[in-house]
Structure 1
Amino acid sequence: MKTLHGVQNWVGGLLLASAAGFTVASGVLSSTFDWPDILREPAPVVLASFHAGGPSLVWTWFAVAWTYALVGVPMSMMSAALGRGTDPVLRTAGAIGAASALLSLIGFLRWVFVVPALAGSWAAGDTAARPAIEAAWTARHQFGGALLGEHLGQVLAIVWSATVSVVVLRSGALPHWIGWSGLAASALYLLNQGDVLATAVPGVPVWEPAGLIGGTAWGLWVAAVGVVLIARRHSASTGSIRVAR
């Protein structure tokens, strides 16, 4: 039992740390780089803005990438935290969740290792060279951003949260409100795929608030799971003390 409580404490703490860290880092990014709205701007606008941001913007992206990637660890440990370490569904979901964090990490880190060189070349290039640089940026943006991070990364994260929510509802491993709210947050977050697909397939229906509302709801749900896991651990510890008395 002590082992289970220890795992719940670690997983809950990591969920909270990743949610809080990403919220702070992405908040800084939003205020300094107009993220995520700038992702849909034309290449010249993005490259000029990124180059103007300098090294501090690169480090902000570095922080955003790794604070989000941290969530992959508790995702992979959720089966153990729920006391269902041999559950094949949760173990599979854990692998899917870890994969989603890795794909999102790759998508975020392109801003650290790929975009600076393109933005620098664009800023230093003449009008004849810029169209080729803009085409290179667009190709990498669609592959690393839209495909890996925004599509595969988000969809796999949604699969993880929806699976955990269903298991919670069926098993009672956590309060049922965690399961229902997880399904609701997952559904809202999935609506953001319209915006992602529209970057490649014109005419796909897009609900503009889906990214903000869905992403925020999903992040709050992750933090709520963390709080519940820690609270259960401490409640169990308090209960043990009372029994001993």
Structure 2
Amino acid sequence: MNRKLTAALLIAAAVLTNVAFTVLGTVFDYPDVLKKPTDEILTAFRAGQGPIAGWFTVLALSAALFAPIAVGVGRLSRSAAMRAAVPVGIAAAVVQVAGLSRWPLLVPGFAADAADTDPSVASAGREHFETAHQVLGTLIGETLGYALTAAWTILVIVALGRTLAGRWFTVLGGVSAALIAAGVVSPLHVPGVDFANFIGYVLWSGWLLAFAVVLLRSPADRPVLAGSPR
């Protein structure tokens, strides 16, 4: 996990996430579709199941990249904050993959059952989807995902300080982390939270790309930081 590989993974994660998110917004009205009634969600899913499941797989892959990214970034500092950041980043990857993987792995079966002519099978399909939607989606993938992603970002900023890239790196990362963390209260339907969370991820994508550029431009033999200088 050298700096060039870490930078490449940062770029890949940012690009794949944004491409998959944009395409899903077009073919599935994602993420707005998640707030619609169950029958509408499943009907929309069945209408474009192949592409939708495929792009959710890409989105899950982009989330999985944060496990090796956390390890690679962890090599940039020996501080306590960075030692904490590594497992937090890996956990962020795990919970988001768990949440997103339900779409290609579980939802096709739920959608098929929900369209069954047997009322009991159809009802069970809808109930199973709602359970997975709440547990794997809202609780694990989204709420924990937002919290852990924001925490990882803040820990990395604290560990690296301004030494790696300067004040702008700290400000951009901190603002994006705060906006992402706001998504934790999204289930409470607080006005403006979903938009703030969306803007947070847009800024965070920019921060990831900028992080990659900084790593690519820094000397390969530059020593890791022993602490967290400011």
* Superposition TM-score, scaled by structure 1 size: 0.83
- Rg larger for: 1
Quick check: 1:146 aligned with 2:138?
Answer: yes
* 1:8-87 equivalence runs, <5 A: 8-80=3-75, 82=76, 84=77, 86-87=78-79
Deviations 1:45-74 (A, max 9, x none): 111111111222211211111122112211
Q: 1:191 aligns with which of 177, 182, 206?
A: 182
Amino acid at match of 2:217: A
User: How big is each residue's C-alpha offset from its partner over 1:173-197, in whole Å with a ceiling of 9 and x where there is no partner?
Assistant: 33221112111111111112221x3
Partner Cα separation in structure 1 for residue 164 and residue 24 of structure 2: 36
SS of the residue 2:30 aligns to: coil
Q: State yes or no: 1:217 paired with 2:217.
A: no
State whether structure 2 residue 221 is matched by structure 1 residue 227: no
CA RMSD, Structure 1 to Structure 2 (Å): 2.0
Which of these residues, 102, 109, 112, is aligned with residue 104 of structure 2? Answer: 112
Letter aligned with residue 11 of structure 1: T
Shift of 1:108: 0.5
Number of positions where the alignment pairs a residue of Structure 1 with one of Structure 2 = 221
Give, in whole Å, the separation in 1 of the partners of 2:2 and 2:166: 18
Distance 1:220 1:123 in 2: 41
The amino acid across from 1:28 in the alignment is V
Percent identity, aligned pairs only, is 28
Off by >3 Å, runs of 4+ in structure 1: 125-132, 233-236
Task: Give secondary structure in 2 for the equivalent of 1:68.
Answer: helix
Deviation at 1:118, TM superposition (A): 0.3
Q: Which runs of 5+ in 1 are unaligned?
A: 1-5, 199-203, 237-245
Deviation by residue 1:69-95 (Cα, 9 ceiling, x = unmatched): 112211222121x2x2x3232022111
Confirm or deny that 1:156 pairs with 2:142.
no
